[in-house]
């Protein structure tokens, strides 16, 4: 693999990377003809230096065409034994299949992509999440992701285990920066990469897109909007027809690079697929020496792998490459093999084949004929591996099919988290009512996921899709490499949290620190506002008002007059009511700046329990010597007490700047 040097290339050329927001007073008004140009995907990027936005739009028709153009990238695993590993285990999944799929997709979707520091990637699948967190510039490598998940499975004792490894080293390949990144998996909605990923919303004031202007909707296609140095909004629009054509060309080019070989077709795809899956399971987690073959016989079918150099066996690689054969040979029942050629000049480059054929056919170049009794190559249905020792003798190990089936029955690991409150995992907010067209909303959500796939978003970038009366959107407030699976799974969290697939709302996972992604994914009715720099939903345009509620604390006490101690390090806490006892976690000061974090006039902010409800202000005069107070209504946060009260039923704060 290739380690990045200090510089990296942004894949989203039109998106300008900027410094942190300087003034919250600046307006971000996007003409509505850019904001809504028809059904499709929108990506809006804010230039913090200029305060301007660039909007890019991809139409619905183009997104539909891309469905047929999705091609699995050919990748290969390798070892990461040269890196130091810090391993952590955290429970186990109840659905190993979904977890493995997420792990596999994480490797596929990040392979070969250059990531700047603090650009995160993750895959949601069912109730599972697999993630990658680079802390230095890094080029995605499937082999490293695969090997990392192998390390978790080995260290945490099961392939269904949750956990992560922090991979780092003083030395990388010659000429490259030492790696420093984390790879892991967890239950969907849990935090990862040192923080929360929750979405903001676009509002009408202070860096927002303004739907009143019609320039944001020029028809079906892809939109990218940004501000140039002169403060002018530039909108790049690519029509649906162009996107469809580009997708077809891209698919053709990718298929031409595949090194697959087809050789007939099976009459029993079920038996063949079972053999393929068992091959992956039995190869997984084993460091196979060169010329150490493995195969599975099942009825009339055979699946095999043939490493010509040492290979760290991996289930996901076997299954991905079999799917490549499916696509390249036009059928899941096709016989064939897939060969990964070694890279010239790199002794550690993988060199192996994975394939399937009819039972009794030849496979794996380099025959054992004449060196061993041929009957040992077929002792019945099951898994075989054969190797040559130093004396040139062939050794064969055989595991019966009955044993493999018994292992499968024992592989289900009870979940440690059977009951999970999805609304408390991330910042799930159910706002703005419910769609009347599930079909249109579902299409918009899926098109959003497909349109954002592979897009590199700079800080404060927005993307959205219009489809008839529905809008699906995402709001990236830190650098993020667009992921289809992330968007899809966030919408699943919304549906579960709001107990309906048609409810409007968003899932917001807010950053806890500088090494964290800040991302929101949501859906609403077309013409509504979305993506707010404060990570809060805007007031409903339909209702025109907020509903307010009291804040819950870890102690269950939330009355207006309760005493609240200031954060540690701000002033000395008194009595038992420290931030930990009140909130279940340490508090943090958030009034270091007059604009970005300020709870004005002596107030301090905490995240509510779980980091999913945004910032809450607790007001105190005289540097924290007075009572801390909840924000129940406007008079609780009057001017003399420290500011105004704002929020809705799901997010209620003192002083809107928190």
Query: Vertex 276, ends 332 and 75: CA angle to 5°?
Result: 85
The model's pLDDT over 153-190, given as tens digits with 9 standing for 90+, comes to 888 888 888 888 877 665 444 444 556 778 889 887 67
| Per-residue model confidence (pLDDT) at position 193 | 65
Question: How many angstroms separate the CA atoms of 366 and 304, rounded?
Answer: 14
Residue range of the domain that includes 637: 548-658
Burial of 394 (0-12, 13-18, 19+ CB in 10 A): middle
Task: Say if residue 492 is in the same domain as residue 552.
Answer: no
For residues 569-584, give the mean pLDDT.
Answer: 40
> Has residue 2 been placed in a domain?
no
Q: Supply angle C-alpha 636, 641, 647, rounded to 5.
A: 45
Q: Say whether both 591 and 648 belong to one domain.
A: yes
- Residue 189: closest CA among 649, 611, 653: 611
Predicted pLDDT of residue 464: 81
For residues 513 and 570, what is the distance between their CA atoms, to the nearest angstrom? 19
Please check whether residue 409 lies inside any domain of the structure.
Answer: no
Per DSSP, 641 falls in state G
The tens digit of pLDDT for each residue in 327-369 reads: 778 778 889 888 777 666 555 566 778 999 988 888 876 544 3
Residues 394 and 269 in one domain: yes
- pLDDT band, very low/low/confident/very high, at 230 (cuts 50, 70, 90): low
Predicted pLDDT of residue 330: 77
User: How many domains does the chain fold into?
Assistant: 4
> What are the start-end ranges of the H helices in 48-191?
60-67, 96-110, 142-155
Of residues 350, 527, 559, 536, the one with CA closest to residue 431: 536
Asked if 208 and 174 sit in the same domain, the reply is: no
Question: For residues 536 and 298, which has the higher predicted lDDT (pLDDT)?
Answer: 298
Q: How far apart are CA 368 and CA 309, in angstroms?
A: 18
283: CB partners within 8 A, 6+ apart: 294, 305, 313, 314, 315, 318
Rounded average pLDDT over 286-290? 79
Contacts of residue 181, defined as CB under 8 A and 6 or more positions apart, other chains included, come to 132, 133, 134, 135, 136, 138, 166, 167, 168
pLDDT for 275? 93
- The overall average pLDDT reported for the chain is 61
Same domain, 60 and 90: no
Q: What percent of the chain has pLDDT over 70?
A: 46
DSSP 271-319: HHHHHHHHHHHHHTT-EEPTTEEEEEEETTEEEEEEESS-EE--HHHHH
277 and 362 inside one domain: yes
Return left, alpha or beta for 251; rule: phi > 0 is left, psi -120 to 50 is alpha, else beta: alpha
Residue 157 resides in a domain:
yes
Band of pLDDT at residue 41, cut at 50, 70 and 90: low
Query: CA-CA distance, 415 to 538, in Å (whole number)?
Result: 37
Pairing of strands 221-227, 604-607: unpaired
Q: pLDDT digits over 239-252, tens only? A: 656 655 665 554 44
Q: Do 124 and 214 fall within a single domain?
A: no
| 49 against 481, higher pLDDT | 481
Kindly report, residue by residue over 623-651, the tens digit of the pLDDT: 333 333 333 333 333 333 333 334 433 34
| In contact, 520 and 184? CB cutoff 8 Å | no
Does a structural domain hold residue 137? yes
**Between 272 and 290, where is the model more confident?**
272
Position 642 scores a pLDDT of: 37
Q: What is the DSSP letter of 215?
A: B
| Dist CA 17 CA 232 (whole Å) | 16
Tell whether the model's pLDDT for residue 448 goes beyond 60: yes
Residue 194: CB atoms within 10 Å: 17
Q: pLDDT digits over 80-108, tens only?
A: 333 445 777 878 888 888 898 888 888 87
Same domain, 592 and 522: no
Q: Which residue has the higher pLDDT, 272 or 288?
A: 272
Work out the angle between the directed axes of helices 438-452 and 484-497 (0-180°, nearest 10): 150
For residue 563, CA distances in Å to 283, 446, 636 come to 60, 47, 14
Of 367, 398, 429, which residue constitutes the final position of a domain? Answer: 398
User: Is residue 15 included in any domain, yes or no?
Assistant: no
| DSSP 8-state assignment for residue 412 | P
Helix (H) or strand (E) holding 462: strand 461-467
Residue 226 forms beta bridges with which residues? 234
Closest CA to 525 of 471, 447, 586: 471
How much is the pLDDT for 302? Answer: 92
Query: Alpha carbon of 31 to those of 147, 212, 221: distances in Å?
Result: 48, 6, 17
Q: What angle do CA 112, 509, 117 make, to 5 degrees?
A: 35
Q: Are residues 392 and 519 in the same domain?
A: no
User: Given the structure tokens 């408390």, which residue do they identify?
Assistant: 424
Percent of the chain with pLDDT over 90: 3
> 64 and 100, same structural domain?
no
The answer to whether residue 361 sits within a structural domain is: yes
Neighbours of 197 (CB within 10 A): 30
- Report which of 650, 658, 654 is spatially closest to residue 538, judged by C-alpha positions: 650
Q: Which of 497, 531, 565 is the C-terminal boundary of a domain?
A: 531
Mean pLDDT within 411-439: 55
Q: Are residues 446 and 393 in the same domain?
A: no
* Residues 524, 502: Cα–Cα separation, whole Å: 10
Is residue 311 located within the same domain as residue 212? no
How far is CA 15 from each of CA 5, 46, 324, 469, 523, rounded to the nearest angstrom?
Answer: 21, 8, 33, 28, 23
Do 475 and 462 meet the contact criterion of CB atoms below 8 Å apart?
Answer: yes
Which residue, among 96, 138, 26, 117, has the nearest Cα to 408 in the 3D structure?
96
């Amino acid at each position: 693999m290739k380690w990045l040097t200090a510089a990296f290339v942004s894949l989203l050329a039109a998106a300008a990377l900027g410094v942190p927001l300087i003034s919250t007073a600046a307006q971000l008004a996007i003409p509505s003809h850019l904001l809504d140009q028809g059904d499709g995907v929108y990506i809006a990027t804010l230039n913090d230096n200029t305060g301007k936005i660039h909007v890019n739009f991809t139409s619905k028709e183009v997104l539909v065409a891309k469905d047929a153009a999705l091609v699995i990238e050919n990748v290969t695993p390798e070892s990461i034994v040269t890196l130091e590993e810090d391993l952590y285990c955290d429970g186990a999944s109840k659905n190993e299949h979904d977890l493995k799929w997420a792990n596999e997709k994480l490797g596929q979707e990040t392979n070969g992509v250059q990531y700047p520091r603090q650009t995160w990637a993750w895959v949601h699948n069912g109730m599972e999440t697999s993630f990658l967190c680079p802390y230095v510039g890094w080029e995605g490598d499937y082999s490293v992701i695969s090997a990392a998940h192998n390390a978790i499975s080995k260290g945490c004792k099961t392939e269904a285990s949750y956990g992560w490894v922090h991979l780092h080293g003083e030395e990388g390949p010659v000429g490259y920066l030492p790696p420093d990144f984390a790879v892991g998996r967890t239950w969907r909605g849990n935090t990862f990469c040192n923080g929360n990923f929750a979405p903001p919303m676009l509002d009408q004031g202070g860096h927002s897109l303004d739907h009143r202007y019609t320039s944001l909707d020029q028809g079906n296609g892809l939109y990218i909007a940004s501000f140039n140095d002169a403060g002018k909004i530039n909108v790049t629009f690519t029509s649906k027809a162009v996107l469809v054509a580009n997708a077809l060309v891209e698919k053709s080019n990718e298929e031409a690079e595949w090194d697959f070989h087809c050789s007939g077709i099976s009459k029993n795809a079920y038996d063949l697929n079972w053999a393929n899956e068992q091959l992956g399971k039995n190869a997984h987690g084993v460091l196979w020496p060169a010329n150490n073959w493995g195969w599975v016989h099942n009825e009339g079918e055979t699946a095999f792998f043939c490493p010509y150099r040492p290979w760290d066996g991996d289930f996901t690689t076997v299954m991905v490459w079999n799917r490549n054969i499916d696509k390249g040979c036009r059928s899941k029942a096709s016989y064939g093999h897939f060969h990964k050629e070694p890279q010239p000049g790199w002794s550690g480059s993988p060199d192996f084949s994975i394939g399937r054929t009819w039972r009794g056919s030849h496979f794996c170049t380099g025959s054992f004929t004449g060196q061993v009794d041929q009957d040992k190559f077929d002792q019945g249905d099951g898994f075989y591996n054969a190797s040559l020792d130093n004396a040139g003798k062939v050794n064969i190990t055989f595991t019966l099919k009955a044993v493999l089936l018994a292992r499968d029955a024992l592989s289900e690991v009870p979940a440690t988290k059977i009951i999970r409150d999805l609304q408390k995992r991330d910042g799930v907010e159910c706002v703005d009512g419910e769609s009347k067209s599930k079909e249109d909303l579902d299409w918009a959500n899926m098109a959003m996921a497909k349109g954002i796939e592979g897009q590199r978003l700079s800080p404060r970038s927005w993307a959205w899709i219009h489809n008839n009366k529905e809008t699906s959107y995402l709001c990236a407030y830190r650098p993020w490499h667009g992921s289809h699976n992330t968007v899809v799974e966030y919408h699943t969290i919304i549906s579960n949290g709001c107990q309906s697939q048609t409810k409007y709302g968003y899932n917001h996972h807010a950053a806890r620190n500088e090494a964290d992604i800040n991302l929101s994914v949501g859906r609403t009715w077309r013409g509504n506002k979305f993506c707010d720099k404060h990570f809060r939903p805007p007031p409903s345009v339909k209702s025109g008002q907020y509903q307010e509620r009291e804040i819950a604390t870890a102690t269950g006490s939330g009355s207006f007059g309760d005493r609240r101690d200031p954060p540690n390090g701000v002033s000395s806490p008194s009595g038992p009511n420290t931030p930990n006892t009140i909130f279940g976690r340490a508090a943090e000061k958030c009034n270091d700046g007059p604009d970005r974090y300020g709870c004005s006039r002596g107030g301090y902010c905490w995240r509510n329990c779980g980091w999913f409800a945004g910032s809450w202000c607790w007001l105190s005069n005289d540097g924290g010597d007075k009572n801390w107070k909840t924000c129940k209504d406007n008079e609780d946060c009057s001017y003399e007490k420290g500011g105004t009260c704002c929020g809705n039923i799901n997010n209620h704060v003192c002083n809107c700047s928190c």
